[in-house]
Copies of this chain bind each other. A is one copy, B any other.
């Protein structure tokens, strides 16, 4: 049986067809414009696959937030208040349900990536996991007790308060909270603070010293509030590999021995990079499709 998957991103849409082992058989990328120009070629991709004999039984959509995940809501399946204005109040689930006539699973992009990692990645089988992405924005997917966390909406873990360090005069750039975690530590915040994009700052130790402190502060909050079995760090900023070691040692320093578990004694296995080589989101979408069926 085949399944469809869509990763809905701010710059590009990835569409794929795969099977229940997570194998991707066919995929395409569509640049993100307004819905009326972006969605039709995505639908065409799935229809052309059907014509080639690759019919999907269900579709999974992992989408940038905020989205409405409440199945009892009149706007379930909608993108809600996004800064990407053409997509405000867009019924993305409805659009694909109508065009393809299959069950559609729906969740946030970060929950999708988390689902990919716990289904087919090195975190397979874990039940309590945080997947944090640090890039253009900062967001987190969360699984607790084997279920993706939704609650009243879905987590927005990137906007928690961190303590700005004394030697950091950057005011932060979050339009809502100024110097929250995302406002201080996203890719654009790094670029604005230091005058260059993160990938041109590799040799500046002070950049990663500061960045790792803010990420470690957030990770400390996730550990204390969620008690996860593992924390996966992905996104463009985390491509700077030096961050992992710095974050691990700062988390240890900040927790200061308060949490005594086997996991805390092996932080190399506890705070880890994503394992699916950038495919965690689209593979998570496949799992959303399987679960929708």
Contacts and interface: CB of A to CB of B under 8 A. Distances in A.
Interface in A62-115: 66, 80-81
Interface in A248-272: 254-261, 263
22 contacts: A66-B260, A127-B151, A144-B144, A144-B147, A145-B145, A145-B147, A145-B149, A151-B226, A153-B259, A155-B227, A156-B227, A156-B258, A156-B259, A157-B225, A158-B224, A159-B224, A160-B224, A176-B255, A176-B257, A221-B221, A225-B225, A226-B226
A49 to B, nearest CB: 34
Counted per complex, copies of this chain come to 2
Interface residues of A, number: 46
Contacts of A220: 160-161
Which has the most chain B C-beta neighbours within 10 Å: A80, A162, A261? A261
A154 interface: yes
Does more than half of chain A's interface fall in helix, strand or loop, or is it mixed?
loop
Nearest to A162: B161
Contacts of A147: 144-145, 147
Nearest to A149: B144
Contacts of A154: 227
Contacts of A225: 140, 142, 155, 157, 160, 221-222, 225-226
